[in-house]
Amino acid sequence: MTRFTVACIQMTATPDVQADIETNLSLMQQAAEKGADVIALPEFCAGLDVKDGALAPVAFPETEHPAIRAFRNFARTRKVDVLVGSVAVINGDSLRNRSLLIGTDGEITARYDKIHMFDIDLGGGHRYCESDVMSPGDTVVTAGLCGQTVGLSICYDLRFPHLFRKQAKAGASLLFTPAAFTQPTGEAHWHVLQRARAIENGAFVIAPAQCGVIAGGSQLYGHSLIVDPWGKVLADAGDQPGFVLSEIDLTLVKATRQKIPSLANERQLN
């Protein structure tokens, strides 16, 4: 399949997992009714909490996670593919920030655990240390979707271009970049980073994001994006909850990579 419609869901997650599930399902239903074949949710799309200034997501083992169960059922019932941007998953003795790709039969076709932890200090009290709570993954993940290869990532991964290069060289023509970008970093870097990942890899970028004020008081940037391989923004959700859709024409990937064959021209440096 070279043409299909993708929707990015934009919402504000809370500590109430069930409420978040219902919010997502309502927006997903609307997107499906508008013709979405693939629906992408943001990072920490169900059960985001902050306690005493530290990330404290609501977590379950994957097989018991109510959000995963609900989204699998939706995918099966509506016959759409669903990208769960991420939820917190109990993995042995640790927590993982995990993204899942769900097929039209409701089965999980790929899992990705966020590799790069969001450990930064912007000053002015804007300090975040994801590694205090979560354990990083260590595997680059590509998967099949609509007969194509796609790459999975989560939020802060966006700042590490080598991850997406590996995915593109493995055949990925579409890159998922779900996120919960903060307002300060979003205003400065969100659009340019998303467009850069699209341009340098000649790939579509699908970036569902959270917006609004989350528990603990942090303002999230929103602006879920769909970007084409030439770096053109096809859809921008602004700063309010909702969703955006765009048709994806994957023939543009081949055409773009023929015009600027940077994947083929790349040389390994010592």
Secondary structure of 208-254 in the HEC alphabet? CEEEEECCCCCEEECCCEEECCCCCEEEECCCCCEEEEEEEECHHHH
Place of tokens 């528990």: 215
80: domain CATH number is 3.60.110.10
Find the catalytic residue in 8, 114, 146, 211. Answer: 114
In a domain, 57, yes or no: yes
Q: Which of 8, 45, 146, 155 is catalytic?
A: 155
Query: In this structure, is residue 268 part of a structural domain?
Result: no
Provide the CA 95 distance to its chain's centre, in angstroms: 18
pLDDT digits (tens, 9 = 90+) for 185-219: 999 999 999 999 999 999 999 999 999 999 989 99
155 belongs to the catalytic site: yes
Give the whole-angstrom CA distance, residue 157 versus residue 107.
25
- The reply to whether 248 falls in a domain is yes
Is the residue at 240 inside a domain? yes
Say how far apart CA 255 and CA 173 lie, in whole Å: 12
266 in a structural domain:
no
Give the CA count within 13 Å in the CB-facing half-sphere of 97.
Answer: 31
Decide if pLDDT at 120 tops 80: no
Q: What is the pLDDT of residues 96-107, one digit of tens each?
A: 999 999 999 999
Percent of the chain with pLDDT over 70: 98
Residue 270 lies in a domain: no
Q: How far apart are CA 164 and CA 66, in angstroms?
A: 30
43 catalytic? Reply is yes
How many domains are there within the chain? 1
Q: Which residue range(s) make up the domain with 96?
A: 3-260
For residue 128, what pLDDT is reported? 74
Residue 138 dihedral angles phi and psi, to the nearest 5°: -145, 15
Catalytic entry in 43, 45, 130, 211: 43
